[in-house]
Every structure is written in structure tokens, then in C-alpha cells.
Amino acid sequence: MINTKFLTLSATAIAGAFALAGCSTGPSAPSATSSSPASPASSMPGMGPGMMSSSAPAAATEHNDADTMFAQGMIPHHEQAVEMSEMMLQKKDIPASVTDLATRIKAAQAPEIETMTGWLKTWNESATMGAGTTMDSMMGEGDMKQLEAAQGTAAAGLFLTQMVAHHQGAIMVAQTEISQGKNAAAIKLSQDIVTAQEAEIKEMQDLLATF
């Protein structure tokens, strides 16, 4: 029997913070205007010169506090998932089904880290949350050391148990972003996270049943 540690999730607290943040809206980029003479197209409402070129940047920078907190919190959360996956890929005697999952998690989440980092830069927001603030569904230092020390089947089972909890916390935060966020790209990523990680939770639970 695998001696795994059941992890208590308190992601509800961070989700509540996201909900409160959603009540505040961040600054939107100003729309571009034009002083050139009107043309047939520009005489139509909403079709002034420069409108098409300015709409894309405006959409990219439009965000609120919930979007900012989502990106700031999900970046380190994803980084930890990648770190956990790399641990499994460096170990010996890990079932192929688990190393395959770890490979897919790393491949999916590493690019998302780059995407969210780019958003924060575009939004002129800090890349990190406030000092001492983390998503409560992340593994603690002791959890990470336990995973690092584990070997073989025991390591695989612990990885699956920890990653189920990790994914559940990410889904809660993503769902809050979907309901409270403003930036279309951030909301779309949140929807993708929910879809992908719900499927992976089911996969991991099925794998755990075989240990």
C-alpha cells in the first residue's frame, strides 16, 4: 500500500480573494482617434480611421484586478506543476502511464507560463503577487521534499495524489477568473485549464485505483 499524505485544499480562500478583486476594474488603454477627413467608411458609426488598428491593442491591454491576480497566481502554480513533472521524468522505475502524464503536463503548462508572463508585461502589472501571498493549493516545501525522495511505484502514487489536489486548486481559481475576469484571452485560457485539468484529474484517479 502506498503511504500517501492526504492534502487539504483551501483554494476557496484564494478564489474568494479573486471574487472581491473582480469588483474593481483596471485601467483600459485609450482608443486611438484620427483627424483625417472622413471617407465613406469612416462616416459610418464606429468605423473611423485608426479604429481597426487601435482595437487590437486595446483588447490586449483591457483587464481588471481579477485578470491580474489570476496570472500572478497561476504562473507559480504552473511552475510547480512543471517542477513536479520534471521530478518524475528524472526518476527510474516509474510506470509509463505516469511518465506520459508528466510529459503532457509539462508540455501544456510551460507555454502557458510564457503566455501569462507576457500578459502581465503588456498590462504593466507586477509579475508576482504581494509578498507572502501564494495559492493555497500549491504543495508545501515538505510535500516537494517527500516527492523528491520517493522512488518507484511509491513516487508515482504520491505524484498522482499531489497532482490531483494541485489541479483541483487550479480549477477553482480558473473558474473564478471565468466569472470575474475581463480580459478575453485570460478567460479563454481559464476555460482551457478547466477542461484539460478536469480530464487529467479523472485520468489520475483511474491510475491511482490501479496502485
d(CA 166, CA 177): 17
DSSP secondary structure of 44-98? STT--TTHHHHHHHHHHH---HHHHHHHHHHHHHHHHHHHHHHHHHHSSS--HHH
pTM of the model: 0.74
- Asked, for residue 201, whether it belongs to a domain, the answer is yes
- Asked, for residue 91, whether it belongs to a domain, the answer is yes
- Asked, for residue 54, whether it belongs to a domain, the answer is no
Which of the pair, 104 or 50, is modelled with greater confidence? 104
At residue 135, the pLDDT reads 66
Give backbone dihedrals phi and psi of 82, rounded to 5 degrees, phi first: -65, -40
Report pLDDT digits (tens) over 177-198.
999 999 999 999 999 999 999 9
Distance (Å) of CA 183 to CA 61, 68, 114, 156, 158: 8, 9, 17, 37, 36
- Asked, for residue 6, whether it belongs to a domain, the answer is no
Counted domains in the chain? 1
- Asked, for residue 49, whether it belongs to a domain, the answer is no
Q: Output the domain CATH number for residue 204.
A: 1.20.1260.10
At residue 47, the pLDDT reads 44
Report pLDDT digits (tens) over 43-93.
444 444 444 445 556 778 999 999 999 999 999 999 999 999 999 999 999
* Res. 39: pLDDT tops 50: no
Average pLDDT over the chain, rounded to an integer: 81
At residue 129, the pLDDT reads 79
| pLDDT band (50, 70, 90) for residue 174 | very high
For 74, the grid coordinates are 497561476
d(CA 82, CA 64): 27
Domain encompassing residue 123: 62-208
